[in-house]
């Protein structure tokens, strides 16, 4: 979802940095790339222990989610062509969403974007043991869809996401994140690399 359907990395970065600074923590430049792909328990623990936010993890996630939903309600940063791409794929195959966002954020984004009906299943890394680059969130989505990894394709923008999908033994379409692009080594794990989500069609999927 993040970086594929919505260009939300800047919003996440701003919200978490503001919270760290407001609560007297220590923001560092590498904080955001460090947290990309982490599960909710992982990044909230990092904010508390690594960045010095004096709040319990459950309060950190509740406050970050509240602020993000408010930003999305005001102006959802949909990537150009994302809604149309999702609709094209949903017309020909069942879709699952495997995201590092919280369940509440997933629901909010899909509601605001008008895509809640496009996905058969949604899974948050909050609901599995490990976040990306571990394959857990993808394996859970595949299990709910009743689909074997070899019969599925993941669409990813980040290094952690590409590695997670590859670890799940899925084929991968990479659409590199423009702010935090994956390395050439990570892109080598993908079967197809596209420049933008608007180029994602059923015909572009690896067969």
Give the DSSP per-residue string, the chain. Answer: -BTTTB--HHHHHHHHHHHHHHTT----TTHHHHHTT--HHHHHHIIIIIS---S-HHHHHHHHHHHHHHHHHH---BPTTHHHHHHHHHTTS--EEEESS-HHHHHHHHHHHT-TTT-SEEEEGGGSSS-TTSSHHHHHHHHHHT--GGG-EEEE-SHHHHHHHHHTT-EEEE---SSSPPPHHHHTT-SEE-S-GGG--GGGS--
Q: Per-residue pLDDT tens, the chain, 207 aa: give them.
A: 999 999 998 899 999 999 999 999 999 999 988 998 788 888 999 999 999 999 999 999 999 999 999 999 999 999 999 999 999 999 999 999 999 999 999 999 999 999 999 999 999 998 998 989 999 999 999 999 999 999 999 999 999 999 999 999 999 999 999 888 999 999 999 999 999 999 999 999 997
Global pTM reads 0.90
């Amino acid at each position: 979802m993040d970086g594929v359907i919505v260009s939300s990395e800047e919003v996440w970065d701003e919200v978490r940095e503001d919270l760290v600074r407001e609560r007297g923590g220590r923001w560092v430049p590498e904080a955001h790339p460090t947290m990309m792909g982490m599960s909710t328990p992982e990044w909230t623990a990092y904010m508390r222990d690594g960045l010095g936010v004096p709040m319990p993890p459950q309060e950190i996630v509740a406050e970050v989610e509240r602020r993000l939903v408010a930003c999305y309600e005001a102006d959802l940063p949909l990537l150009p062509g994302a809604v149309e791409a999702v609709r094209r794929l949903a017309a020909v195959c069942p879709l699952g969403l495997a995201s590092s966002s919280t369940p509440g954020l997933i629901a909010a984004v899909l509601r605001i974007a008008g895509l809640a009906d496009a996905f058969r299943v949604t899974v948050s890394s909050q609901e599995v043991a490990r976040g990306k680059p571990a394959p857990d969130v993808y394996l859970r989505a595949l299990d709910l869809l009743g689909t074997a990894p070899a019969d599925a394709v993941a669409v990813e923008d980040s290094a952690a996401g590409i590695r997670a999908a590859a670890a799940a033994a899925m084929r991968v379409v990479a659409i590199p994140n423009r702010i935090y692009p994956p390395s050439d080594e990570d892109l080598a794990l993908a079967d197809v690399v596209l420049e933008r989500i608007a180029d994602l069609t059923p015909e572009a999927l690896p067969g």
